[in-house]
Amino acid sequence: MKKGTKLTASLILTAVLVGFLLYIDNSSLKSSMLSTVLQKGAIYALVAVSMNLLNGFTGLFSLGQAGFMLIGAYTYAILTIPVAQRASVYQYFGGGIVQFTLPVPVAIIIAGLMAGLTAFLVGLPVLKLKSDYLAMQH
């Protein structure tokens, strides 16, 4: 199989999977256990692929991507809390600093950007290290 054919097949498969997940998310199955299991399965698959890329192919042991995923998840959670429920979430902080709720796609993009920005800022000094010192940082 040629490289271009594999890429096309992967893109088509990804588009079908995203379409299926969007269909489930917008149907009556949204609050069902099937939707919950598929969402968590997609998240864990993404984490497994990132761990395989770093630990499997490069042989480097690093838990940094888990920390960056944490920052993205926390950003997403802050941006999608309904305004009416902010007082109960931030009991001691008067509803928190963020007093608005963003749509899910926008919150996902901003969460990814925050995780990427944090990874960039951490990577700047770490990638200037050489040999053993770089290995100790991972």
Can you tell me the distance from the alpha carbon of 127 to that of 120, in angstroms, rounded to the nearest whole number?
10
Please give the share of the chain, as a percent, with pLDDT higher than 90. 14
What secondary structure letter does DSSP report for 57? Answer: I
Q: What DSSP designation does 54 have?
A: I
Confidence of residue 118 (pLDDT cuts 50, 70, 90): very high
Dig out the tokens for 57 from the structure.
Answer: 């192919």
Mean pLDDT of 96-120: 88
CA distance 89 to 82: 10
Average pLDDT, the chain: 80
Answer whether 0.75 is exceeded by the pTM.
Answer: no
pLDDT digits (tens, 9 = 90+) for 32-61: 787 778 778 888 888 888 788 878 887 777
Check residue 133 and give its pLDDT. 58
Residue 95 has what pLDDT? 67
DSSP 8-state assignment for residue 53: I
Nearest to 110 by CA among 123, 101, 122, 97: 101
Amino acid in the structure at residue 55: N
